[in-house]
Structure formats: structure tokens, C-alpha cells
Amino acid sequence: NAGVTQTPKFRVLKTGQSMTLLCAQDMNHEYMYWYRQDPGMGLRLIHYSVGEGTTAKGEVPDGYNVSRLKKQNFLLGLESAAPSQTSVYFCASSPGLINTDTQYFGPGTRLTVL
């Protein structure tokens, strides 16, 4: 039982390049999330999904797209990377319970955009 995994762990991009971050969970969770974490700030929600085939915008969605074609996978895409997207990206999943929904996080992807 691996929990939540993310690939890649590290990546350096040049401005304007594109990439996709992959998140996978093996806990059969309904909900999945993508966050970014920047120094001095809390995690900020980029996009989330409440089930296979559904996605929604979070707090900071601009410049990102997501897809959830399979329940266990949640992809985050950067179409044209910008230096402001340099950050640590965390994926999380949760079972979708009403009151005690605990989020489980992946190990993170450290992205640098030059």
C-alpha cells in the first residue's frame, strides 16, 4: 500500500515549457487535490476533483489544468511555465467523508522555472 505517490520528484523547466505532474493513490479515495506551497504561505489549493471525470477550480487555478480520467490518478498540467510557478507541489487524496475527511499527501514535486 503505497498511499499517494507523485512523479517526478524534481524538475527544472525553462519559461514557456510545458509539463505534467502525475499523482496516483491506491486507497480508493474519491477526492483528490493539487496544492502548491510557497515560503511563508500555507498550502494553496490549485484544483480538486470529487470523483472520476470531474474537476473544479481551487483558490489559485490560473496557469494550470487538470484531468481525472481514472479514479486513482490526478494529473496537473502546466501549459506554459512561468517563474511564478516555481514552487513545491503536493497532491493529496481523501475518502470524501462528511465531517472527518482526512487528507493524505504525496511526497511533493519541487519545480523550478527559470
Partner 1 sequence: RKEVEQDPGPFNVPEGATVAFNCTYSNSASQSFFWYRQDCRKEPKLLMSVYSSGNEDGRFTAQLNRASQYISLLIRDSKLSDSATYLCVVRVGTGGFKTIFGAGTRLFVKA
Provide the minimum distance between the beta carbon of 80 and partner 1 in the complex, in angstroms, as a whole number: 26
* Neighbour order of strands in the sheet with 64-67: 4-7, 19-25, 73-78, 64-67
Task: Give the single-character DSSP code of 56.
Answer: E
Nearer to partner 1, 31 or 64 (CB): 31
> Which residue in the set 50, 60, 61, 67 belongs to the binding site for partner 1 (CB under 8 A)?
50
Provide the minimum distance between the beta carbon of 59 and partner 1 in the complex, in angstroms, as a whole number: 9
Pairing mode, if any, of strands 31-37 and 44-51? Answer: antiparallel
Q: Does the footprint of partner 1 cover residue 107 (CB under 8 A)? A: yes
Provide the minimum distance between the beta carbon of 49 and partner 1 in the complex, in angstroms, as a whole number: 9
Pairing mode, if any, of strands 109-113 and 10-13? Answer: parallel
Binding mask 8-47 for partner 1 (x = CB under 8 A): -----------------------x-x-x----xxxxxx--
Alpha carbons 48 and 65: distance in angstroms, whole number? 10
- Residue 104 corresponds to which cell in the numbers above? 493524505
Cis peptide bond prior to 8, omega within 30° of 0: yes
Q: Does the footprint of partner 1 cover residue 77 (CB under 8 A)? A: no
Q: Does the footprint of partner 1 cover residue 105 (CB under 8 A)? A: yes
